[in-house]
Structures are given as structure tokens and as C-alpha cells.
Amino acid sequence: MSGEVWVYAECRSGRLMDVSIELINGARKIADKIKSSTASIILTDNVGQLADELISYGVDKVYVVEHPLLRLYQNDLYTDIICEAVLKYNPEILLIGATSIGMDLAPRIAARLKTGLSAHIVGLDIDENGILKQIVPGFGGGVMAVVTCPKARPQIATVRPGVLAKPEKTSKKGEIINFKTEISEEKIKARTLEIVEEEPLGKPLEEAEIVVGVGLGGCKPETFKLIRDLAETLGAAIGGTRPAVDEGYIKEDQMIGQSGKTVRPKIHIALGVSGAMQYMVGVMDSKTIIAVNKDPNAPIFKMCDIGIVGDLNDVLPILLEEIKQLRKT
């Protein structure tokens, strides 16, 4: 099979988004299975070293479109350019990060090309016929469904940040292709004037080695104070479930799970989390999962590595004291 596996390389403020780098890992594995090659397409005002960086992460070639009007994301213009490139080079698969930009861009591309699109993918595979197997949580997170688009080309999927491991940098050499196309202000129907990114509070969930997850059982003022103390003691990031967001204990961008973020920490400590599949899909790649819940029948105990049955207000003070004592030795 000759069709390339493409990754849309999203960049902001002159840097590549982590999810675009993660997607290179998935693209590489898929391309190897179908004996094809990988490529990234990047649109920006100043590519600089970004093309070389993409190659160092594993792509075979980079299609570059560089123009001052591409400094900020412009949905009409970006859609026109990517669709034109797809029609010229005929990739087999196009992977896009499920960011705010990716979720706006991907359906526009799919509609323009009259092809299929699977959104919020949490896993990727491919069969011997080159059909992309796109894994998504279904029925409220109760099952993992496999979606395919056998006749659609290119096969397009948006993949959630964090579900794929970031590849290591290498000294790989690749090809950089400058894709020439007409770019003018007349093609921009709605202009993006500014992108404002809120500074994260503490270390981002996706980068933390220890993540403390808060469930409904942790949503009481005195309990949450203990949880914050634990996180500060461990240098951990705090995330949690939808109920913890609804109760106002964590922000929307701290939510983990099917409708939130995917994390891959060395240690995930689930506190008062029942273990519903909607949440577990966001932590399943954690190296070690520790759970504390007062319900001995909570589903979390079937999926964790270490489980403690008990009230958080009883367990956490003991746990905190033990950790502080170990820090002193």
C-alpha cells in the first residue's frame, strides 16, 4: 500500500502541540503495518526548526506551507490548503489532535473531501487491508467500540491528547517539501485576531508523574483540604471526575476521562472515585493505580493495583503522616 499516513502538525506561538508529536508515534506504527511512510503537514508563518523537529520524532517527510496569514489559525484558509494538499498527494490516513483547533478543522476537511471522520479516538490500529480501526468509548463509556470507514479516503480521525505515548527524538533524516498554493486574504471569511491561552495552575495533568484524582467521595471541604495537602506533599497534579467539576472542586480543564483528559502518570491516586468506565479510559495507561474508597464493591477495586477500603478522612491523615516521615529519612 502506497498511501501515506499523515499527521496534521498543530503549532501555536512557534511550538508544536504535544498531541501532534504523540500522533507521530501512532502514525509510525500504522505505517509500518501497511508498509507505508509517514508525513506531517504544517501551516504557519515561520516554520523555522519545526520541520526538522517533526522529522526527529519519526516522520519521513514534512509538507510545509509558510505564509504570514497562517500565523494564527484561520479555519477557512487552513481547510482550503489541507484539502488541496490531500487531493494532490492522496494520503491513506489523516490524524488530527482533538484540540479546540483540531475539533474545528477536522469536520471541515472531512465534509469538503466527502469522507468519513471518527472523533475523540482513544486507540488506533489497522487491519491487513489498510482499514483504520478507530477505538472510541461507547454507550456512556460502558464499552469500547471499534469504528471503521472502509470506503472513505482519506480515513480521518481526531485523537485525544495523552492517549498515545510521545516518541523519543532521533537523528533521523527526512524530506521537507514546500507545498505551493495561492494564499490571500480574500479566502478568509472569519478572521482569528488573537488566541489567548490561560496559564495552567501548577504542572499540566498530561505532564505530571503523579496525579491525584478526585471523585464524588472527595467533594467535601474538609476532605478536599486533605487531598490538596496530599497533592502538595507529593508534588502531584490534581484532576478528577465530572461530579468533582460539577461540585466546584476542580475546573473543567482538570477533568479526566471520556469527556476530559487522558493521563499517563507513573502513579495515579484515585480518591473517592467509583471507577466508572467514563473515568477509567482516561487513566488506564497509568503505571500504578492506587485507589481509596469506602465502598468495598466499587468497580475501581477491580482495576487498581493497590486498593484501600476506608473513609478518606480516616485514611488520608495516616497516609500523609507516613509520607512525611519517609521524606525525613
Q: Are residues 111 and 143 both part of a single domain?
A: yes
Structure confidence at residue 142 (pLDDT): 61
Mean pLDDT on 205-234: 92
220 falls within a domain: yes
> Number of structural domains, the chain?
2
Mean pLDDT on 66-91: 94
Q: What are the helix and strand counts (H, E) for the chain?
A: 8, 17
Mean pLDDT on 132-146: 73
Of 220, 224, 225, 261, residue with least CA distance to 241: 261
Q: Are residues 135 and 53 both part of a single domain?
A: yes
Structure confidence at residue 281 (pLDDT): 84
**Residue 216 predicted with pLDDT over 70:** yes
Q: Are residues 50 and 154 both part of a single domain?
A: yes
Instruction: Tell me, rounded to whole angstroms, the distance of Cα 210 from its chain centroid.
Output: 18
Structure confidence at residue 150 (pLDDT): 80
Task: Give Dmax over CA atoms of the chain in angstroms.
Answer: 67
DSSP 48: T
User: Distance between CA atoms of 217 and 220, rounded to whole angstroms?
Assistant: 8
Of 310, 184, 74, residue with least CA distance to 318: 310
Q: What residues form DSSP beta bridges with 163?
A: none
Structure confidence at residue 191 (pLDDT): 81
Mean pLDDT on 233-255: 92
User: Last residue of some domain: 124, 159, 187?
Assistant: 187
Mean pLDDT on 109-135: 87
pLDDT band for 1, please (50, 70, 90 cuts). very low
247 falls within a domain: yes
Q: Are residues 48 and 183 both part of a single domain?
A: yes
Of 32, 277, 8, residue with least CA distance to 130: 32
Contact at 8 Å (CB) between 312 and 272? yes
SS3 (DSSP) at 9: coil
User: Last residue of some domain: 187, 219, 241?
Assistant: 187
Structure confidence at residue 325 (pLDDT): 85
Q: What is the residue range of 309's domain?
A: 205-328
Contact at 8 Å (CB) between 51 and 64? yes
Mean pLDDT on 279-293: 92
Mean pLDDT on 65-87: 94
224 falls within a domain: yes
pLDDT digits (tens, 9 = 90+) for 6-62: 999 999 988 999 999 999 999 999 999 989 999 999 999 999 899 999 999 999 999
Amino acid, single-letter form, for residue 159: V
Q: What does the mean pLDDT of the chain come to?
A: 90
Contact at 8 Å (CB) between 319 and 304? no
Mean pLDDT on 260-289: 91
Contact at 8 Å (CB) between 272 and 292? yes
* DSSP codes, 71-98: SS--HHHHHHHHHHHHHHH--SEEEEE-
pLDDT digits (tens, 9 = 90+) for 141-196: 567 788 888 888 899 999 988 888 889 999 888 999 999 998 988 888 888 888 77
